[in-house]
Structure 1
Amino acid sequence: MLINVLMAAVALCPALLVVAIWQFFQIRNERKIALQSEALHAEQIHRMEARYKPIMDMEAEVARLTVDARFEENRIAILRSDYSDKKTIYDRLLKEVAAFDHKLAFAEMGVYEPHFDFTDSEEYKSAILSVREQQKSIISADAAVICTTKWSVDGSAAKGQTMTRRNTQASGSRVR
Structure 2
Amino acid sequence: MIEQKEQHIASNEMSLMAETLILNIFRVSHLVGRATNRELARMGFSLQLEQVQILVLAYLHCTTPLSQQDIANLLQKDKAGIQRSVKTLERDGYLRINSDLNDRRRNLITLTPAGKLVAQEVMGKTLELDKQLTSHLNPDEVKGLLNVLKKLASILES
TM-score range, shorter chain: under 0.3
TM-score (norm 1): 0.23
> Which structure: greater helix fraction?
1
Rg (Cα) greater in structure: 1
